[in-house]
Amino acid sequence: MKGIGIVRKVDHLGRIVLPKELRDTMNINPHDGVEIFVNGDNIVLQKYNPSCVFCDSKDKLFYFKGKIICEGCLEETRTHVS
């Protein structure tokens, strides 16, 4: 990991603001999801990019019984149900 030379303070609610330059570089827009991971003593933020649980497609996604599934796999489940 490399530092980018920007330090932000955590507010009283535990929030931090991601600098605009970083959001632009990482293509993070308002209302985008950000995943939070812990790696040893490090907190890692990553833009959330949902994908189908079956084929990893990122196109035409739906929630199906609490899981993310693409349109193609959803159609395939319909043809394999007896």
Domain ranges (residues) in the chain: 1-49, 50-82
- Answer yes or no: is pLDDT of 82 > 60: no
CATH class for the region spanning 1-49:
mainly beta
Whether 69 contacts 52, CB under 8 Å: yes
**pLDDT tens per residue across span 34-75:** 999 999 999 999 999 889 999 999 999 988 888 899 999 988
More confident residue, 80 or 74: 74
Distance from C-alpha of 62 to C-alpha of 68, rounded to nearest angstrom: 6
pLDDT computed for residue 1 by the predictor: 67
pTM above 0.85, yes or no: no
More confident residue, 81 or 36: 36
Bridging pattern class, strands 42-47 and 34-39: antiparallel
